[in-house]
């Protein structure tokens, strides 16, 4: 049994996620939702969790926008 690389690999070697990186990702996701067609003010008021869920499911965003368009046309 050796003492090679597999025994030296530790999970603490990975870089930590930083707050700046988190903000950068969050802002990119918010911009993506605005490009999908949601209002900028509306996206600004959303929680980070809601933004993540909507970015993961663009079909849901399309449904929301279609409902609004149908409601506005009535």
At 50-60, the pLDDT tens digits run: 999 999 999 99
- Average predicted confidence (pLDDT) for the chain: 88
Residue 32 and residue 61: Cα distance in Å, rounded?
11
Long-range contacts from 68-73, C-beta under 8 angstroms, 24+ separation: none
Does position 41 have pLDDT exceeding 70, yes or no? Answer: yes
- Is this model's pTM higher than 0.75 or not? no
């Amino acid at each position: 049994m050796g003492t090679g690389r597999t025994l030296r690999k530790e999970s603490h070697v990975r870089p930590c996620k930083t707050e700046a990186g988190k903000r950068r990702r969050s802002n990119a996701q918010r911009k993506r939702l605005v490009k999908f067609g949601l209002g900028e003010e509306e996206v600004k008021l959303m929680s980070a969790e809601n933004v993540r869920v909507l970015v993961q499911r663009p079909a849901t965003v399309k449904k929301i926008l279609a409902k609004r368009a149908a409601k506005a046309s009535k």
